[in-house]
Chains A and B, each alone.
Chain A
């Protein structure tokens, strides 16, 4: 009995240490966002602010830069990317899993091959192409490169493979067109997989720093991660309080969304594994 308890304690201890290591930076970020500049500058890592400076820091975060605008940009860009990815990936995945056509395996091989190409490797060619057609520094420049998600095509194709062919045949007998089957039959059955893909897609593009940094020059299109960087330039010096406040604000939507939909996320992921 005792030994089992002892093992249990060790297990919990390891988990707690792991959680502390992962959560410590976040905690530091949040407390820093609540501290006065003098306290941040004196180098002590006090867990609780001696002097609360939250209102000043958060007000500054929203007023010194158009943070709300950056957040709106982030919503526009990630939502557009996800919707376009779904519009493209679902029909592709359907064609790759449920339709018989010459060259299907080769095309699927190409999809797998594209999974191997890191986006950074093609950044410069894409940049040059966008320059020549003149869409640099626009929403289009932020959205277009990500609309075809090979990962999305691959993930949805794998999920569609598990949907019985009979269901597709039944839909054909009932008079639903091929595209109708994609949206009215495959999409609803694939919701768990689509949720999982949505999480990946939204997190990746909400947090993306690299690509917006390359294609944008006007601040009006800045996405949240670029918005934070504004706090670190020579204009503001190193104002860590407002900087951390802004960082807290931009990760808040993801954290809140996760807490609200936690059960559904995990449900979605396990369903994908089981079906």
Chain B
């Protein structure tokens, strides 16, 4: 197992710059997710690490070895593809043994039929069978070894693809949206399974996804890519609680973070929809954006709220309620997350008052970058 070092990688397709100076060090055994909206360059970065794509500039190292001009198969990295990419004409056993046969048998021994005839090849083949069976029992699919990929369900195919990746004990695993072809229920289940596999193997995992929930639930660290730039790298908690860019704040977390029009006054005070938030900042005065997670908002009795609104929609998720509301100063509805246990009796069209903790406010400048704030003053109530 090994560390992977990505240094100043850029990649252009013609005039389009897909990756702009991306650097990331991934220590041995870490589970890193590359997340971002589609077209942000995350798959391209993964393909560059795999060697399937050549970077325009920059360097990739595994431990201390520069692998820029090394062929994909000689990088000793394995990859799980979104479409699984199993060989349709081979049985599960043969699918998993392909990488072993390619590395352990020479080209004459690989000729059809010869691997069962030549004495040297037979010994190697025996070792391959043992290794494949070990992987099959690790992934609990020994009973599938004789089937063809066409006879397997989506989840089983995915498992075979993982098996083919782990059988040769690579330096690192690259996973390119491996769960996106599965149905929602199975996806949640496989999330757990992949995270457990990572713990058991202790290997370096680089996982590409556009699903922030997958990144949040499995990763040691999340790397958020936006428009070819690495915007933020941090633990799931970090990225969720301390987003350094409004795009990160909006991408991570479901439902999306609420953003309100705000302003930094000339005295340094921060206003939200024209209401002082009780925060100050050293940043330049001017318009800003205020982010508040749905769970940072609270429903309060009339007269105690910081601002008021009208309920436009209620999503009942069983354990919790998502209440959508607007007021005249807001560009689009905001969402409050309420525990179901609170048993709020709300109806669409009802007027509500909302409060928040100043510590939950995330302030972003006009360029979208995070602006540091400090708590300073008492909040001003709506009716005060």
Contacts and interface: CB of A to CB of B under 8 A. Distances in A.
Contacts of A185: 87
Given A169-B52, A189-B88, A189-B89, A174 B98 contact: yes
Contact of B81 (A170, A175, A188, A189): A170
A180 B79 CA distance: 19
Interface of B: 47, 50, 52, 71-74, 77-79, 81-90, 98-99, 102-103, 164
Nearest to B74: A175
Nearest to A172: B72
Interface in A157-175: 164, 166-167, 169-175
A273 to B, nearest CB: 17
Contact of B79 (A167, A170, A176, A191): A170
A173 B77 CA distance: 8
Contact of A166 (B74, B85, B99, B164): B85
- Give the one of A166, A171, A189 with max B CB within 10 A: A166
A200 B98 CA distance: 34
Contacts of A169: 47, 50, 52, 72, 79, 81, 85
- Give the one of B74, B90, B98, B103 with max A CB within 10 A: B98
21 contacts: A164-B85, A169-B47, A169-B50, A170-B86, A170-B164, A171-B98, A172-B52, A172-B73, A173-B50, A173-B52, A173-B72, A173-B77, A173-B78, A173-B99, A174-B98, A175-B102, A188-B87, A188-B90, A189-B88, A189-B89, A191-B89
A172 B90 CA distance: 16
Contacts of B50: 169, 173
Closest 8 CB pairs of A and B: A175-B73, A175-B102, A170-B85, A188-B89, A166-B85, A166-B81, A174-B99, A167-B85
A191 B90 CA distance: 13
A191 B87 CA distance: 13
Given A172-B72, A174-B73, A164 B99 contact: no
Nearest to B84: A166
Contacts of B84: 166
B103 A175 contact: yes
A167 B74 CA distance: 18
Given A173-B79, A176-B102, A167 B87 contact: yes
A66 B103 CA distance: 53
A169 B72 CA distance: 9
Contacts of A164: 83, 85
Interface of A: 164, 166-167, 169-176, 185, 188-189, 191
Given A169-B52, A188-B89, A189-B89, A174 B102 contact: yes
B236 to A, nearest CB: 28
A176 B98 contact: yes
A176 B98 CA distance: 9
A173 B73 contact: yes
A171 B81 CA distance: 11
Contacts of A189: 87-89
Nearest to A164: B83
A230 B204 CA distance: 75
- Give the one of A174, A176, A189 with max B CB within 10 A: A174
A170 B77 CA distance: 11
Contacts of A176: 73, 98, 102
- Give the one of A173, A174, A189, A191 with max B CB within 10 A: A173
A47 to B, nearest CB: 49
B182 to A, nearest CB: 16
A173 B176 CA distance: 14
A174 B103 CA distance: 8
Contacts of A191: 89
Contacts of B85: 164, 166-167, 169-170
B82 A166 contact: yes
Contacts of B52: 169, 172-173
Given A169-B81, A169-B85, A174-B73, 5 more contacts: A169-B47, A172-B52, A172-B71, A172-B72, A175-B103
A40 to B, nearest CB: 52
Contacts of A188: 87-90
A167 B84 CA distance: 8
A176 B83 CA distance: 19
Contacts of B89: 188-189, 191
A164 B82 CA distance: 11
A176 B73 CA distance: 8
B97 to A, nearest CB: 10
Contacts of A166: 81-85
A170 B47 CA distance: 11
Nearest to B53: A169
Contacts of B47: 169
A159 to B, nearest CB: 13
A26 B73 CA distance: 58
A190 to B, nearest CB: 10
A31 B114 CA distance: 51
Contacts of B72: 169, 172-173
- Give the one of B47, B78, B84, B102 with max A CB within 10 A: B102
Contacts of A171: 87, 98
A166 B52 CA distance: 10
A164 B74 CA distance: 23
A172 B85 CA distance: 11
A169 B174 CA distance: 13
B87 A175 contact: no
Contacts of A170: 79, 81, 85-87, 164
A258 B88 CA distance: 26
A9 B50 CA distance: 64
A172 B79 CA distance: 11
Nearest to B97: A174
B108 to A, nearest CB: 13
Contacts of A174: 73, 98-99, 102, 164
B166 to A, nearest CB: 13
Contacts of B73: 172-176
